[in-house]
Amino acid sequence: MNTQILLDQFSLLYGSGAVLYTSPGRVNLIGEHTDYNGGFVLPGAIDKGIWAAVKPNGTSKINAFSLDYKASASFGMEEADLPAEGWAKYIFGVVREIIKRGGKPGGFDTVLAGDVPLGAGLSSSAALESTFAFALNDLFSLGIDRFELAKIGQATEHNYVGVKCGIMDQFASLFGKEGHLIRLDCRSLEYEYVPFDPKGYKVVLIDSMVKHELASSAYNKRRESCERVVASMKKRHPEVQFLRDASLNWLEEVKTEVSAEDFMRAKYVIEEIQRLLDACESLKKGDYVAVGEKMYGTHHGMSKLYEVSCDELDFLNDLAREQGVTGSRVMGGGFGGCTINLVPESKYDAFIDRTVKDFTARFGSAPKVYPVKIGAGARRLN
């Protein structure tokens, strides 16, 4: 990001003295559909984010200019002042959530821009929320810790955007650390940094650019399957709260009591939680081949047991395996979006060329390619 452009635009509109902040998007290496089952996820912040020049303006008004939309928005800080612009709602939401927690930010001027592709599953919205939560906390000395800043971003999605998301995206955006992924326990919210420094490999996302309509109804059905299996297990193991608590043996015990479909769903989740834990052990040893195998395992499980993949994603996964890519899997909830790939550098160019060519020939439109590096979380730049 050329931050000079941000500062120049800020000077033009509001004058000098702005402070620069940035906060990243994220990937999730492994651990899909594990969050609502009380399990783990393994996100990492990326080298793409939102950048903002911000300066208090001594009023109780916010004046924002989006470089990417070439649009401005001005709004107050009371609940009734909700702006009409979609992108400005995120800024407003963050301000409101801070105020609800007793914080007293003042008005400010800001110019923002980003390079996280929108809606691709890299969480541009969390990057946007985290940038402003972090900036306001810093500029107005509010004394809010990073964890609460993440919750402020999450609450913004819930209350001002209407997306009932978990905490992973905002958490990764705030706690990201270069050379590390974050193993986040979605039940206790405890976390641990796991080294991720794949020398000789590149991480690249291939965006299928499809979004199948099924996604939200299927998501609810998957959750219900998991809940039914937990309810069955409770008869023998009253302490079970989530599939996180269960073993494959316990699943076998209820095999005749749950539907074949529910059984498959639960099997995927229990295996996925274990795969993630195993992948963390491999990361600590620097064994990226083993990590890659786990990624393929996740894809297989999501495709065959959890049944949330689609032709486009399976096609990308098969292509990756054929070309000797070390690890590949669908990232996110499924039914479209990106695959995340761990590719040996020596095979990278050929992999990208062939993938774009074959995917386009098969589906009639080109996938998008986003190389990413694991980077740092929210921070002040000047």
If one asks whether residue 339 binds Mg ion (CB under 5 A), the answer comes out as no
Closer CB to ligand ADP, 134 or 242, in the complex: 134
Distance CA 351, CA 99 (A): 49
Reduced DSSP (H G I as helix, E B as strand, rest coil) percent helix, strand, coil of the chain, to 5: 45, 25, 30
Tell me how far, at minimum, the Cβ of 64 lies from ligand ADP, in Å: 9
3-state secondary structure of 195: strand
Measure Cα distances from 369 to 208, 297, 306 in Å. 9, 23, 26
For residues 79 to 118, the per-residue mask of contacts with ligand ADP, x marking binding by CB under 6 A and - elsewhere, is -------xx--x---------------------xxx-x-x
Number of residues in contact with ligand ADP under rule CB under 6 A: 19
Distance CA 7, CA 109 (A): 12
Give the footprint of ligand ADP on residues 46-75 (CB under 6 A).
50, 66, 68-69
Going along the chain, which residue ranges are E strands?
19-28, 40-41, 43-56, 61-66, 71-76, 108-114, 180-185, 191-195, 201-211, 327-330, 336-344, 368-372, 379-380
Sequence-distant (≥ 6) Cβ neighbours of residue 351 within 8 angstroms? 320, 323, 325, 341, 343
Residue in 115, 123, 148, 132 with CA at minimum distance from that of residue 73: 132
Closer CB to Mg ion, 87 or 201, in the complex: 87
Tell me how far, at minimum, the Cβ of 340 lies from ligand ADP, in Å: 14
If one asks whether residue 317 binds Mg ion (CB under 5 A), the answer comes out as no
Closer CB to ligand ADP, 128 or 313, in the complex: 128
Instruction: Write the Ramachandran bin of 162: left for phi over 0, alpha for psi from -120 to 50, otherwise beta.
Output: left
169 is known as an active-site residue: yes
Tell me how far, at minimum, the Cβ of 48 lies from ligand ADP, in Å: 10
For residues 165 to 194, the per-residue mask of contacts with ligand ADP, x marking binding by CB under 6 A and - elsewhere, is ------------------------------
Closest residue to Mg ion, based on beta-carbon distance:
125
Number of residues in contact with Mg ion under rule CB under 5 A: 1
- One of 109, 169, 207, 245 is an active-site residue; which one? 169
Q: Which helix (H) or strand (E) holds 168?
A: helix 168-175
Q: Which residues does the annotation mark as catalytic?
A: 169
Q: Site residues (CB under 6 A) for ligand ADP? A: 50, 66, 68-69, 86-87, 90, 112-114, 116, 118-119, 121-125, 128
Q: Site residues (CB under 5 A) for Mg ion? A: 125
